[in-house]
């Protein structure tokens, strides 16, 4: 990943190399154990389940590629994939840009920083189910605050979680509203940019926008990469907000996020994980759910590799440094 040169021991110094290896191993040991136990084992189990018929109660029965074959005649799966792709594209871009924007504004504030920072972060402190429900109430057409506000300008409020065309944008709005965590991460990174870099740029006569573009952005790019990858994962795993928005839209919200009708309205909130959950725990077909999980994992892992490689290339090119 990085072009750090200092730590690589010169060849031939066998003992130093062994010691270096031991150090790395020591630092990574808990992670390696944890990785095997809490990721490796579930991954193997998931892949194994995906070749079986498994009703969650009786021992899985091998059924070859049946689960994978069924994917091709499952109309809801197509819908779920389309919904999740929508979120991966829209939510990832919107969330990263939004968080970066808000963090950049906050970073420039001179007074009241603490208060505004806290206000912006407040929503991400709320339990996800409650946050979604409250947002639902705020967006509620016919008497909600946003509806009233739009009414002042003579605009009809969208029906949000009742309209298949607006349910996903509505959920995206919720996700932006609770993106305070990413905002704070980016803010911390922005404030962490060494002051002398700005001073140097200022001496060269760069205005604030130029400084932001040429100093801030490149320096915080590792954190931005985190933001993008984190948003992609969030989009891929979007579950609670989709379930709660769907249940509230169908008029059956409850305080814990359980629901009678997943995907309301018209399956527009049926994300891949929601459908996976439905198949595994509502229809008791864990084999199929595991096949879905396997496919999701393989595709998203491949996308991540491409994304990470590309980000690395870009940042390397921009900074003019040697590649890894």
Partner 1 sequence: MRKHTRAALLCVAAGMATALTLTACAAGKGGGASSDAAAAPGKDDKLTLTVWSNYSDREYEEVTKALKTFNKKFPNIEIKHEGSQDDDKITAGIRSGNTPDVALSFTTDNIGQFCSSGAFQPLKAYIERDKVDLNQISPAVREYTEYKGNRCAMPMLTDVYAMYYNKDMMSAAGVTAPPKTLDELFEAAKKLTKKAPNGDIEVAGYLPTMGFYANRPTILAPSFGAEWEKDGKSALASSPGFTEMMTFQKKLVDFYGFDALERFRAGLGQEYSADHAFHQGKIAIMMDGEYRTAFLKAQAPQIKFGTAPFPTWKPADYGTAFTTGTIMGIPKGAKNPGAAWELIKHLSFDTDTIVDLSNAIKNVPSTKAAMESPKLEVDEQFKTFIDLAKSDKLKGNPVTPIGDAHIKAVTDFAVSYTSGKVPDLAAGLKEVDKNIDDQIAKSGK
Partner 2 sequence: MTATLTKPPVDVTADPEQPARKRDVGGFLNWVATHAIGLALGLMFATPVVFVFLTAVMSDDQAFTADLWPREWHWENFVEVFDKAPLLQYLVNSLTYSLLATAGMLISSIPAAYALAKLQWRGRNLAFLLVIGAMMLPPQVVAVPLYDTWSSLGLTGTLWPLIVPYFLFDAFSIFLLRQFMLTIPQSYVDAARVDGCSEFQALVRIIVPMAKPGIAATALFCFLFTWNDYFGPLLYTGEVKDQWTLSLALATFKGMHIVQWNSSMAVTFLTMIPAVVLFVFAQKSFVKGITFTGVKG
Q: Which residues of this protein are in contact with partner 1, per CB under 8 A?
A: 41, 44-45, 47-49, 52-53, 55-60, 66, 70, 73-75, 140-143, 159-163, 248-254, 258, 260-267, 278, 281-285, 288
**Which is nearest to 217 in space by CA: 193, 234, 237?**
193
Question: What CA dihedral angle connects 94, 100, 105 and 110, to 10 degrees?
Answer: 150
Q: How many CB atoms lie within 10 A of CB 124?
A: 16
Please tell me whether residue 38 binds partner 2 under the rule CB under 8 A. Answer: yes
Taking each continuous run of H as one helix and of E as one strand, the counts in the chain are 15, 2
From residue 125, alpha-carbon distances to 24, 73, 128 in Å are 36, 41, 9
Pattern 265-294, binding to partner 2, x per CB under 8 A?
--------x--xx--xx----x--xx--x-
Q: Check: CB of residue 77 under 8 Å from CB of residue 71.
A: yes
89 binds, options partner 2, partner 1, none, Cβ within 5 to 8 A by partner type: none
Which H or E element spans position 52? strand 52-53
Please tell me whether residue 15 binds partner 2 under the rule CB under 8 A. Answer: no
112 binds, options partner 1, partner 2, none, Cβ within 5 to 8 A by partner type: partner 2
Q: Which of residues 219-258 bind partner 2 (CB under 8 A)?
A: 219-223, 225-226, 229-230, 233, 236-237, 239-240, 253-257
Q: Which of residues 94-123 bind partner 2 (CB under 8 A)?
A: 102, 105-106, 108-112, 114-123
Give me the least distance between CB of 169 and partner 2, in Å please.
Answer: 16
31 binds, options partner 2, partner 1, none, Cβ within 5 to 8 A by partner type: partner 2
Which H or E element spans position 202? helix 195-203
């Amino acid at each position: 990943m990085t072009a750090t040169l200092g730590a690589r021991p010169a060849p031939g110094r066998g003992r130093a190399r062994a010691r270096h290896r031991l150090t790395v191993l020591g630092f990574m040991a808990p992670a390696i154990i944890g990785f095997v136990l809490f990721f490796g084992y579930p991954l193997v189990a998931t892949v194994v389940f995906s070749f079986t018929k498994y009703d969650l109660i009786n021992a899985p029965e091998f059924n070859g590629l049946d689960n994978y074959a069924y994917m091709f005649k499952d109309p809801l799966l197509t819908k779920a994939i389309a919904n999740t792709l929508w979120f991966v594209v829209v939510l990832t871009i919107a969330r990263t840009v939004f968080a970066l924007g808000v963090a950049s504004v906050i970073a420039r504030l001179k007074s009241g920083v603490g208060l505004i920072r806290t206000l912006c972060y407040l929503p991400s402190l709320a339990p996800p189910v409650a946050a979604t429900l409250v947002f639902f109430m705020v967006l509620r057409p016919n008497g909600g605050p946003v509806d009233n506000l739009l009414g002042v300008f003579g605009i009809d409020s969208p029906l949000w979680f009742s309209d298949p065309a607006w349910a996903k944008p509505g959920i995206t709005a919720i996700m932006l509203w609770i993106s305070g965590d990413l905002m704070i991460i980016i803010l911390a990174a922005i404030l962490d940019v060494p002051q002398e870099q700005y001073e140097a740029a200022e001496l060269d006569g760069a205005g604030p926008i130029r400084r932001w573009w040429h100093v801030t952005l490149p320096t915080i790019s590792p954190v931005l990469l985190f933001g993008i990858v984190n948003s992609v994962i969030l989009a891929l795993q979007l579950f609670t907000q989709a379930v709660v928005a769907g249940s509230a839209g169908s008029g059956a919200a409850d305080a814990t996020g359980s629901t009678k009708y997943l995907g309301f309205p018209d399956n527009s909130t049926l994300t891949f994980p929601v459908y996976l959950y439905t198949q595994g725990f509502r229809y008791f077909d864990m084999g199929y759910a595991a096949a879905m999980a396997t496919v999701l994992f393989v595709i998203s892992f491949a996308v991540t590799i491409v994304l990470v490689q590309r980000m690395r290339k870009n940042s390397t090119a921009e900074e003019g440094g040697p590649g890894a």
